[in-house]
Amino acid sequence: MRTFGEFKLKTMFINVLNRRIQIIENPDGTFLYRRDETSVLLPKRGTLKILPAPAEGYGVKFLMVRFKPEVALPPEEVVTGYTTAPVDVVVKSGNTLIDRFVIGREKYALYGERTIGVIARYHVGEFTSKEPDEIGIIKLVLRNPTSDWKLVGKVVIPIRNSVMFYSDTKAYYPLIILTTKEPYEVNNTGNPPDGMLKPTHRAEPLPNFRMRW
Q: What pLDDT, in 10s, does the model give residues 124-137?
A: 999 999 999 999 99
> What letter does residue 40 receive in the DSSP assignment?
E
Distances (CA, A) of 98 to 18, 123, 137, 150, 197: 19, 27, 25, 45, 24
Contacts (Cβ under 8 Å, ≥6 apart) of 83: 65, 67, 125, 126, 127, 128, 132, 137, 138, 140, 155
Helix, strand, or coil here: 172? strand
In angstroms, rounded to a whole number, what is the distance separating the alpha carbons of residues 3 and 184?
35
In angstroms, rounded to a whole number, what is the distance separating the alpha carbons of residues 37 and 68?
36
- Closest to 123 in 3D by CA, of 108, 141, 144, 113: 108
Q: Given pLDDT bands bounded at 50, 70 and 90, which one contains residue 204?
A: confident
- Closest to 169 in 3D by CA, of 85, 52, 28: 52
Does position 138 have pLDDT exceeding 90, yes or no?
A: yes
- pTM for this model (two decimals): 0.94
How high is the pLDDT of residue 208?
92
In angstroms, rounded to a whole number, what is the distance separating the alpha carbons of residues 98 and 31?
13
Helix, strand, or coil here: 210? strand
The structural domain count of the chain equals 1
Phi, psi of 3 (to 5 degrees): -110, -45
Structural domain that includes position 195:
5-211
Q: Given pLDDT bands bounded at 50, 70 and 90, which one contains residue 200?
A: very high
How high is the pLDDT of residue 158?
96
**One-letter identity of residue 105:** R
Segment 78-116, tens digit of pLDDT = 999 999 999 999 999 988 999 999 998 899 999 998 888
Query: CA Rg, the chain, in Å?
Result: 19
Q: What does the pLDDT average to over 199-204?
A: 91
Tell me if the bond preceding 183 is cis, omega within 30° of 0: yes
Q: Given pLDDT bands bounded at 50, 70 and 90, which one contains residue 205?
A: confident
- Are 168 and 179 spatial neighbours (Cβ–Cβ below 8 Å)? no
Please report, for the chain, how many H helices and E strands are present, in that order: 0, 20
In angstroms, rounded to a whole number, what is the distance separating the alpha carbons of residues 191 and 199?
9
